[in-house]
């Protein structure tokens, strides 16, 4: 019997492509405790989304499987809510109706109409979107859309919240706001979260553990870094914190020394092509230290 | 620039009204004059130029029916066609009045007398023909939409079904509906036999011909709309475990509505063009028959009358298209789409 809350057990997956079978994941195992915040980091195309989709039930593993509270995951369901990279709100529904659709679907039997209305509003307030409930997705900014996407996922009261690069499409300023919001929500609700990210700072700031994946094909989990920083975390003081910078350096070292992308020239190693230097005051510290 | 982003309220206003409003609101003389020129004067000038070229060109062409009519003659004939219509209506009213008076008189003499009202049998006027054509195209278009939208939705949702139906669609789509006309006529005469028909056979034949050409663009566009739903939205419905019906109603249909309406608009345009030709060929009542009758008639006014019909057909086609565009804008959730 397995005791952890969520466990990914020896998952391998092989896709049939035009150029033959492609083994994307090879024997990936991961145990997640209840209330833990896990980041999944790795180079583009290594299979992070694939891991997340297998946990969500949107993809079926070729070998191995996923257990949630000791029950095998066989299909998608609202107990494993997903926040997609490009928000995926229904564009013809208002912000309220997007969340309400999920609430009605999940709590249609267990809550009264009035309760569902209140629950929808409550979740929109939680992500600070209570002022825009009547707007359509194309009338609000990218950050606001992502907030609504998170509200929709939270409203399902999932056992595990799965986020695939939730802030990847946002500008850096909006992204920091969203990270702060997410930490605030996490402090209140203490959800179990698996989040994919490309951003090293985001991973260190938000996570309890950072799961670093090796390059594909046949990607595995390379290393797991426990981030032992006290909460609540505040990005400004942390920028000067040696422990914080140590964690950052660990992740960078993994990504750029041990698992540098083969198509990236070695002179680039240590430079993250995803993020502009001005967004990262800590890099200077790292170089100096 | 106007209307790159669609505002549903604005789309119901006409461009000239908008420019007039803008004219009143703006207080900068230069700007409002420029706007006026761009939106009002330039189109008017183009129309004026067209009329001048038309009258000049028409004067130099002589046919066996006399000179090709210019705008003035066409206008006169338009007025006359309308007056003929009024006169016919008056005769009709008078006809029924006479009958009623006669019947009343007979009933006064003998309360048990059997009275009946005979229907008026004047030949249809130009305006009647317009009405017939519009009703026919609307009927054919509605039937086609009721058939095509469900087929499009299921084809878009099931790749297997699409693969099995696609060859049929591809085979029949390029066929001019006029090629169907003889078959439709024969089938309708064979199948639609009734003592007291609710609709005339010619009406059914024309409507079915319109249906046959309206079906394809709607099926194809709806299929494409349904099958090109964002994968993420499908994943959302999977995570939410939406049932088949909820998924279809809440996700599949709304997301394909813009494409669906694009198809409907195409269909209606084609249907209108085909209807006129079908009416000419099959001698079914409507504008097409009017044109053909005038052509056969061959009086000195015929060419001008045909031109009136041509202009009316064009104007009605334009109005139908605008009406569909308005519907399309109303139904489209994608506010970034540029619809013209
Ligand atoms: N359905 C599929 N069929 C075939 N190959 C697939 C499929 N889904 C993913 N892959 C392949 O699996 C590999 C990993 O894809 P995945 O989307 O999981 O990467 P990722 O780590 O999320 O990348 P990114 O950071 O760019 O989002 C890629 O090479 C991709 O081409
Ligand atoms: Mg991905």
Q: In the prediction, which pLDDT does A231 show?
A: 86
pLDDT block averages, 10 residues each, chain A of length 289: 83 92 92 94 92 94 93 93 90 94 94 95 91 92 92 93 90 89 90 93 94 88 91 90 93 84 46 41 38
Quote the strand ranges of chain B, DSSP E: 62-63, 66-67
**In whole angstroms, what separates CA A34 from the centre of its chain?**
16
CB contact under 8 A, B240 and A86: no
pLDDT digits (tens, 9 = 90+) for B29-46: 777 788 888 888 888 999
Q: In the prediction, which pLDDT does A73 show?
A: 92
**In whole angstroms, what separates CA B61 from the centre of its chain?**
32
CA–centroid distance, A181 to ligand 2, in Å, is 23
**Between residues A196 and B58, which one has the greater pLDDT?**
A196
> Quick one: DSSP state of residue B234?
H
Residues of A in contact with B241 (CB under 8 A): 75-78, 105
What domains are defined for chain A? 6-79+159-280 (3.40.50.300), 88-157 (no CATH)
CB contact under 8 A, A78 and B239: yes
Q: What are the two backbone dihedrals, phi and then psi, of residue A9, each rounded to the nearest 5 degrees?
A: -115, 110
pLDDT digits (tens, 9 = 90+) for B290-302: 999 888 887 878 8
Helices B287-297 and B253-282 cross at an angle (nearest 10°) of 20
CA atoms within 13 A on the CB side of B181: 19
**Lowest-pLDDT range of A15-29, A145-159, B63-77, B79-93:** B63-77
Q: What is the rounded CA–CA span in Å between residue B211 and residue B207? A: 6
CA-nearest residue for atom 16, ligand 1, is: A47
* Model pTM score: 0.77
Which residue shows structure tokens 């790292």? A286
pLDDT digits (tens, 9 = 90+) for B233-292: 999 999 999 999 999 999 999 999 989 999 999 999 999 999 988 888 888 888 999 999
Q: What is the rounded CA–CA span in Å between residue B169 and residue B154? A: 14
Q: What is the rounded CA–CA span in Å between residue A90 and residue B219? A: 24
Residues of A in contact with B251 (CB under 8 A): 90
Q: Report the 10 Å Cβ neighbour count for B234.
A: 17
pLDDT band at B24 (very low <50, low <70, confident <90, very high): low
**Lowest-pLDDT range of A169-178, B7-16, B42-51, B324-333:** B7-16
What tokens appear for A131 in the block?
């002022």
Q: How far is CA B93 from CA B88, B130, B249, in A?
A: 9, 20, 50
Which one, of A25, A40, A15, lies nearest residue A220 by Cα?
A25
Q: In the prediction, which pLDDT does B79 show?
A: 92
CB contact under 8 A, B236 and A88: yes
Q: How far is CA B116 from CA A113, A128, B104, B109, B129, in A?
A: 62, 76, 11, 16, 28
What lies within 8 Å, CB to CB, of A221 at 6+ separation is A28, A29, A30, A211, A212, A213, A214
With b for 16 or more beta-carbon neighbours within 10 A and e for fewer, the A232-271 pattern comes to: ebebeebeebeebbebbbbbbebbbeebbbeeeeeeeeee
CA-nearest residue for atom 2, ligand 1, is: A15
What domains are defined for chain B? 134-337 (1.10.3720.10)
Strand duo A71-72 + A63-68: pairing: antiparallel
Q: In the prediction, which pLDDT does A111 show?
A: 93
CA-nearest residue for atom 30, ligand 1, is: A45
Q: What is the rounded CA–CA span in Å between residue B244 and residue A286? A: 54
The answer to whether the CB of B140 falls within 8 A of the CB of B275 is: yes
Q: What is the dihedral of CA B252, B260, B4, B34, to 10 degrees?
A: -160
Cis check for the bond before A232: say yes or no (omega within 30 of 0). yes
The answer to whether the CB of B331 falls within 8 A of the CB of B257 is: yes
pLDDT digits (tens, 9 = 90+) for B171-200: 988 888 788 888 888 888 888 877 777 778
Q: Give the residue from chain A lying closest to B241, CA to CA.
A: A77
Q: In the prediction, which pLDDT does A285 show?
A: 38
The answer to whether the CB of A116 falls within 8 A of the CB of A103 is: yes
CA–centroid distance, A186 to ligand 1, in Å, is 28
Angle subtended at Cα B267 by Cα B264 and Cα B268, rounded to the nearest 5 degrees? 90
Q: How far is CA A227 from CA A118, A269, B279, in A?
A: 36, 23, 80
Q: What is the rounded CA–CA span in Å between residue B233 and residue B252? A: 9
The answer to whether the CB of A162 falls within 8 A of the CB of A194 is: yes
Q: In the prediction, which pLDDT does B340 show?
A: 67
Selecting from A91, A93, A106 the residue whose C-beta is nearest the C-beta of B334 gives A91
**Between residues B19 and A255, which one has the greater pLDDT?**
A255
The answer to whether the CB of A91 falls within 8 A of the CB of A97 is: no
H or E stretch covering B155: helix B126-157
The three-state (H, E, C) secondary structure of A173-185, written as one string? HHHHHHHHHHHHH
**ipTM associated with this complex:** 0.83
Residues of A in contact with B246 (CB under 8 A): 105
CA–centroid distance, A47 to ligand 1, in Å, is 5
Chain B residues near any Cβ of chain A (below 8 Å): 230, 232-233, 235-236, 238-242, 246, 250-251, 254-255, 257, 333-336
Q: In the prediction, which pLDDT does B116 show?
A: 78
- pLDDT above 80 for B319: yes
CA–centroid distance, B49 to ligand 1, in Å, is 61
Average pLDDT of span B52-80 = 86
> Quick one: DSSP state of residue A219?
B
**Between residues B21 and A169, which one has the greater pLDDT?**
A169
As for ligand 1, residues whose beta carbon falls within 6 Å of it are A 15, 17, 22, 24, 42, 44-50, 216
Please identify every residue whose CB atom is under 5 Å from ligand 2, which is an ion: A 49
Residues of B in contact with A76 (CB under 8 A): 235, 238-239, 241
A64 touches chain B (CB under 8 A): no
Q: In the prediction, which pLDDT does A120 show?
A: 95
The answer to whether the CB of A178 falls within 8 A of the CB of A166 is: yes
What lies within 8 Å, CB to CB, of B290 at 6+ separation is B126, B129, B309
Average pLDDT of span B120-132 = 85
Residues of B in contact with A84 (CB under 8 A): 232, 235-236
Q: What is the rounded CA–CA span in Å between residue A268 and residue A156? A: 43
- pLDDT above 80 for B15: no
pLDDT digits (tens, 9 = 90+) for B193-231: 777 777 788 888 889 999 998 999 999 999 999 999 988
Q: How far does the CA of residue A170 sit from the closest CA of chain B (Å)?
A: 18
Quote the strand ranges of chain A, DSSP E: 6-17, 20-32, 37-41, 63-68, 71-72, 80-83, 160-164, 192-197, 209-213, 221-226
Q: In the prediction, which pLDDT does B337 show?
A: 66
Beta bridge partners of A226: A209
Q: Report the 10 Å Cβ neighbour count for B257.
A: 18
CB contact under 8 A, B333 and A106: no
């Amino acid at each position: 019997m397995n005791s952890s809350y969520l466990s990914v057990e020896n998952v391998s997956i092989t896709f049939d492509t035009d150029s033959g079978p492609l083994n994307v994941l090879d024997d990936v195992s991961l145990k997640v405790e209840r209330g833990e915040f896990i980041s999944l980091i790795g180079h583009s195309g290594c299979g992070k989304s694939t891991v997340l989709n297998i946990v969500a039930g949107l993809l079926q593993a070729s070998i191995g499987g996923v257990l949630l509270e000791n029950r095998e995951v066989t299909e998608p369901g609202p107990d494993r809510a997903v926040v997609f990279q490009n928000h995926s709100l229904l564009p013809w529904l208002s912000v309220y109706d997007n969340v309400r659709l999920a609430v009605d679907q999940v709590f249609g039997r267990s809550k009264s109409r009035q309760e569902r209305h209140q629950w929808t509003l409550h979740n929109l307030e939680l992500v600070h979107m209570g002022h825009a409930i009547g707007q359509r997705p194309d009338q609000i900014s990218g950050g606001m859309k992502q907030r609504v996407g998170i509200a929709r996922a939270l409203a399902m009261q999932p056992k595990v919240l799965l986020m695939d690069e939730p802030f990847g499409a946002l500008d850096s300023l909006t992204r920091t706001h969203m990270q702060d919001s997410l930490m605030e929500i996490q402090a209140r609700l203490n959800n179990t979260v698996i989040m994919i990210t490309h951003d090293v700072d985001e991973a260190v700031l938000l996570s309890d553990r950072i799961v670093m994946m090796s390059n594909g094909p046949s990607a595995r989990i390379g290393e797991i870094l426990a981030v032992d920083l006290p909460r609540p975390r505040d990005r400004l003081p942390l920028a000067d914190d040696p422990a914080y910078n140590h964690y950052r350096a660990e992740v960078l070292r993994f990504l750029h020394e041990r698992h540098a992308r083969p198509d990236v020239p070695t002179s680039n190693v240590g430079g993250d092509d995803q993020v502009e230097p001005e967004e990262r005051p800590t890099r200077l510290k790292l170089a100096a230290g | 620039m106007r209307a790159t982003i669609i505002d549903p309220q604005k789309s119901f206003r006409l461009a000239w009204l908008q420019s007039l409003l803008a004219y009143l609101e703006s207080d900068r003389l230069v700007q409002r004059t420029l706007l006026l020129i761009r939106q009002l004067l330039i189109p008017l000038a183009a129309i004026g130029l067209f009329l001048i070229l038309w009258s000049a060109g028409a004067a130099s062409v002589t046919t066996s029916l006399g000179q090709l009519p210019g705008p003035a003659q066409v206008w006169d004939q338009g007025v006359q066609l309308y007056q003929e219509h009024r006169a016919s209506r008056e005769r009709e009213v008078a006809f029924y009045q006479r009958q009623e008076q006669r019947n009343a008189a007979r009933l006064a003499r003998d309360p048990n007398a059997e009275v009946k009202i005979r229907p008026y049998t004047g030949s249809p006027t130009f305006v009647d023909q317009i009405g017939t054509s519009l009703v026919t195209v609307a009927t054919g278009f509605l039937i086609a939409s009721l058939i095509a939208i469900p087929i499009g939705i299921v084809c878009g949702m099931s790749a297997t079904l699409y693969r099995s139906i696609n060859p049929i669609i591809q085979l029949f789509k390029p066929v001019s509906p006029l090629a169907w006309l003889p078959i439709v006529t024969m089938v309708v005469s064979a199948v639609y036999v009734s003592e007291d028909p609710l609709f005339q056979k010619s009406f059914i034949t024309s409507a079915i011909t319109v249906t046959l050409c309206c079906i394809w663009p709607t099926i194809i566009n709806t299929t494409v709309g349904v099958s090109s739903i964002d994968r993420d939205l499908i994943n959302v419905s999977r995570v939410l475990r939406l049932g088949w019906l909820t998924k279809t109603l809440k996700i599949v249909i709304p997301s394909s509505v813009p494409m669906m309406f694009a198809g409907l608009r195409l269909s209606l345009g084609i249907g209108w063009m085909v209807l006129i030709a079908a009416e000419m060929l099959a001698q079914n009542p409507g504008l097409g028959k009017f044109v053909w009758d005038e052509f056969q008639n061959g009086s000195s006014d015929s060419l001008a009358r045909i031109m009136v019909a041509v202009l009316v057909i064009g104007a009605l086609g334009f109005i139908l298209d605008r009406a569909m565009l308005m519907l399309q804008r109303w139904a489209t959730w994608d506010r970034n789409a540029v619809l013209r």
